[in-house]
Structure 1
Amino acid sequence: MKQDLPEAVARADSQAQADASVSNLSALLAAQREAYLRAPFPAWSERARHLRALRDILFANQDALADAMNADFGQRSRAEVALAEFLVLKQEIDSALRHGERWMRVQRRRAGKWLMPGRARVVPQPIGVAGIVVPWNYPLQLAAGPLVCALAAGCRAMIKMSELTPRTSALFADLIAQTFAPDHVTVVNGDAAVGAAFTALPFDHLLFTGSTRIGHEVMRAAAANLTPVTLELGGKSPALIGEHARFDYAVDSLLLGKTLNAGQTCIAPDYVLLPRGKEDAFIARARVRFNELYPDFANNRDYTSIISTRHYERLERLADEAQAEGAQLHALGPRNAATRQFAPVLVTGASAHTPLMQEEIFGPLLPIVPYDSLDEALRYVNARARPLALYLYADDARTVDRVTRETIAGGMSVNETLMHIAAEGLPFGGVGASGMGSYHGYEGFCTFSKMKPVFTQARLNGRHLIAPPYGKLFNTLIRVMLKF
């Protein structure tokens, strides 16, 4: 059912305010847990029906959701919404519908020769009620994507949307309320206090996407209930251009990754390592390519605005502080504080201790760091917290193998930027400071499932042979069992 945006937002906003009261959160969770216990193992036909219903309501309202995101950002590229929100989401749903029934199957495992003829298996079991905390930068993909995994696994879910995208959050809440009973899937909206109360609930699993700083707080809150968590955080994702890489291609590809959503992407390249002496060539190529990608920048509707004045001013402050410490700023286009349009700025000579080089940037600033050898570049990456993504531009197998084996990151793309997140069969997740756990596809199904190990003893078995009182027979058997 298609929604008129103003009417739907107004109605959903009123409902969201009612749902967002902190005192009501526990009641919502209790209702979902009770419903789960009444039907703890839904059949695949039921799960598939829920996935199709989610797909149908969201895609029927694609224009309204795009309008809401555009209003929340001030300007959000409709092409990017289609590409980075709906296409990725459609692929996730289609994959779950194609493969979910197989994912549910019991997995036979070896029991080992000493437990024969007993049988071992793993039973994928819905974990229960999932909590999903959604950031503002991709509000649809990062709300509905984890929900797809939870529904495929047979779970129920509560979703906390971001207060920085109020129109999108309200409309999403309304669409979910039309499609699912509150004891199956529900959306709550509210400020940071609601978010803190939400993460303190005793979910069966909590998936949070956001900053590393808030990730610490979420993990502390979850620890009070021993709630398992999946943390999708961020960090400073490096891009490494190899000595013999296709240089212009690498610059073009990195620029695409950095300008998508104006760099407001958790896996956007945060800095570029390139062979010393190629800095000017990088800047020149990037300048030409940016003007090709976004002609008439001031009036271009394909470039997304920075989400808020506070975030815009933070980016300006990062650039100004780096410049005050001796860095050179190379703007590829103008800025407009009124519309919060912020063209990419390449940064050379930035001091390692400036906030620009210490914090996740989350915007269109891109430091360039020269290196003299691949060893030096790898030391630079490995001296820092493990990133959510790593990008390598190289065609020679030796370089690709070295970087793959000698660095650790949540994910990696070779000769590409961002696209590993869209690969249907790859899990998505961080490592260390960039997060823990993963989802998407089968790994998402597993995240919201208890992969329960089950051992079934045979009617005729030898268990009595290794039971007290221990004597000569036991001693003989244990010597045989322990023999190499």
Structure 2
Amino acid sequence: MDIVGLAAPANAIEAIFHRQRSLSRTAPPPDLAERLDRLRRLRGLLASHEEAFASAISDDFGHRPAIETMLTETLFLLGEIKHTVRSLKGWMAPRRVATQLQFWPAKNRLLPQPLGVVGVIAPWNYPLQLTLAPAIGAIAAGNRVMIKPSEFAPRFAGLLREAVGKSFDATELAVTGIENGVAEVFSALPFDHLVFTGSTKVGRIVAAAAGRNLTPVTLELGGKSPVIVDRSADVAKVAERVAYAKLLNAGQTCIAPDYVFVPEAMRDALAEQLQSAMTRMIGSAPANPDYTSIISDRHYARLDGLVADAVARGAGLVQPQAIDTAAWKSRRKFPPTILLGAKPEMAIMQEEIFGPVLPIMSYRDAGEPIAYVNAHDRPLALYWFGEDTATRDDVLARTVSGGATINDCLLHFAQVNQPMGGVGASGCGAYHGPWGFDAFSKLKPVFYRSPLNRFADAYPPYGPKIARLIKLIRFVS
């Protein structure tokens, strides 16, 4: 089958795009059977390469537990495909829309149609899930898809290219190379829709490039997702759930808890419980096979710098006891780190952390966390812990975030019937389940006129008939 090679030059990428685009304009839209066939082939690809994908991803990170890849990537995608296959016939059906009385007995319908060619620029932190999840929605909607994997996950990118090339023709689904310059060429192509997952900084560049072609974009970015702990919360439960969410993939998750707001009187107790929970989960030695490495030396050094800056500015440092810095660094594993007394002027509070470092800020008045969140870029996720429903609803009403989970973290992302997307600096657009199908479709409104309708009464020459028609319209409107 024809594929785009891992080191394909720019003209090869453009060539496959134009082949996909031409077919999207000239061939009939894929029917239900064709779409289901593509989804089932994708499911087969995932199932047959599950172990190989996990191994390649682990090699790219330096180490990542296969169980984390299975839980956060493979099972998520298999569930998404299963839900999509079961639901696709209904999603594709014309949708009934109410018709105003004056147009009866005519009817309105929304017809879902494929947009054409959807591009996906994928990140490295969940290279399998965040590459194929948008592709599932795009394929379900009847589109042709091109994927540009992350250069930070070269082993996975090569394996994905090979696997896709064996299961799909490049006019259906193609994977590009990852060499220098490919991202710029890819983002400049006039896709019918472009999905980017990554940092806000790069997202702005991608959006600007897409804007030159008036290409609509779905941007899944990140930012600083807060945890707000209410006075009514159970500190032990908060600590366990936040610790898990922060240590999963070593914090390299776009919706990971980025910092915690806790009542002043509960701060030290929470810090103690967090440290205890983190130690239970991954121990205090870097050799633990259940703990993921940081993706690169550059990212590791960045985390080191953020922690050093916070400590220099007065933050209290909480890490595993008797830490052997060299041993952790040699495995590129960053020790779980809690920073007490974080302040807004610290560098760690100015940018997304993307690592297992958790700043804690305390408050006295319940309005303080809300004011702080609203004074900064809108986060991709917000987490609230407590039992006081009035305070909970006040926080939800007065803050805007891409999504929220109450009394836990991350879980809103896993809901197949809920959209996943950011807002403002944390992104735009959304996908997953029916939301993904709609994001990658044109819902075309169609009006079917009835021969019984008296629209001719509105044609010139105007006379008594138009007066009666206007009177009717005023009455029914």
The TM tier, using the shorter chain, reads: over 0.9
Q: Is the 1:40–1:126 Cα contact (8 Å) retained in structure 2?
A: no
Residue aligning to 1:120: 108
Q: Structure 2 CA distance, aligned partners of 1:415 and 1:350?
A: 23
Q: State the Cα distance separating 1:291 from its structure 2 match.
A: 1.4
Correspondence for 1:16 among 6, 9, 12: 6
What is the SS of the residue equivalent to 1:220?
helix
Q: Structure 2 CA distance, aligned partners of 1:310 and 1:324?
A: 21
What is the SS of the residue equivalent to 2:207?
helix
Q: Structure 2 CA distance, aligned partners of 1:470 and 1:305?
A: 78
Residue aligning to 2:183: 195
Q: State the Cα distance separating 1:404 from its structure 2 match.
A: 1.7
1:287-298 → structure 2 map (5 Å cutoff): 287-295=275-283, 297-298=285-286
TM-score (norm 2): 0.96
Residue aligning to 2:440: 448
Q: State the Cα distance separating 1:472 from its structure 2 match.
A: 4.3
1:242-321 → structure 2 map (5 Å cutoff): 242-295=230-283, 297-321=285-309
Q: Structure 2 CA distance, aligned partners of 1:68 and 1:180?
A: 21
Q: State the Cα distance separating 1:185 from its structure 2 match.
A: 0.4
Counterpart amino acid of residue 385 in structure 1: D
Residue aligning to 1:478: 470
Residue aligning to 2:350: 358
What is the SS of the residue equivalent to 1:433?
helix
Deviates more, 1:191-200 or 1:81-90: 191-200
- Residues 128-162 of structure 1: CA deviation (Å, up to 9, x unaligned): 10000100000000111111111111111000000
Q: Structure 2 CA distance, aligned partners of 1:381 and 1:391?
A: 12
Residue aligning to 2:337: 345
Residue aligning to 2:156: 168
- Residues 332-355 of structure 1: CA deviation (Å, up to 9, x unaligned): 464522211002211122231222
Q: Structure 2 CA distance, aligned partners of 1:246 and 1:351?
A: 25
1:101-250 → structure 2 map (5 Å cutoff): 101-250=89-238
Counterpart amino acid of residue 452 in structure 1: K
Q: Structure 1 CA distance, aligned partners of 2:458 and 2:364?
A: 64
Gaps of 5+ in 1: 1-11
Change (3 A) 1:408 1:192: farther
Q: Is the 1:290–1:332 Cα contact (8 Å) retained in structure 2?
A: no
1:410 aligns with 2:402: yes
Q: State the Cα distance separating 1:192 from its structure 2 match.
A: 4.8
Residue aligning to 1:75: 63
Counterpart amino acid of residue 109 in structure 1: V
Q: Structure 2 CA distance, aligned partners of 1:364 and 1:468?
A: 73
1:412-451 → structure 2 map (5 Å cutoff): 412-451=404-443
CA RMSD of aligned residues (A): 1.5
Q: Is the 2:96–2:108 Cα contact (8 Å) retained in structure 1?
A: yes
Counterpart amino acid of residue 393 in structure 2: D
Deviates more, 1:394-403 or 1:135-144: 394-403
What is the SS of the residue equivalent to 1:125?
strand
Q: State the Cα distance separating 1:296 from its structure 2 match.
A: 5.2
- Residues 179-221 of structure 1: CA deviation (Å, up to 9, x unaligned): 1001110001224521011011000000110100011001100
Q: Aligned residues, how many?
A: 470
Q: State the Cα distance separating 1:64 from its structure 2 match.
A: 0.8
Residue aligning to 1:50: 38
Counterpart amino acid of residue 358 in structure 1: Q
Q: State the Cα distance separating 1:478 from its structure 2 match.
A: 2.4
Q: Structure 1 CA distance, aligned partners of 2:196 and 2:63?
A: 26
- Residues 265-303 of structure 1: CA deviation (Å, up to 9, x unaligned): 000011101111222111211111111111353221110
- Residues 415-434 of structure 1: CA deviation (Å, up to 9, x unaligned): 11111111121110001111
Identical residues among aligned pairs (%)? 43
Q: Structure 2 CA distance, aligned partners of 1:246 and 1:39?
A: 59
Q: Is the 1:239–1:390 Cα contact (8 Å) retained in structure 2?
A: yes
- Residues 356-394 of structure 1: CA deviation (Å, up to 9, x unaligned): 101011111111111112212211111111110001111
Residue aligning to 1:386: 378
Q: Structure 1 CA distance, aligned partners of 2:261 and 2:196?
A: 30
Q: Structure 1 CA distance, aligned partners of 2:357 and 2:152?
A: 22
Q: Structure 2 CA distance, aligned partners of 1:348 and 1:193?
A: 42
Gaps of 5+ in 2: none
Counterpart amino acid of residue 7 in structure 2: Q
TM-score (norm 1): 0.94
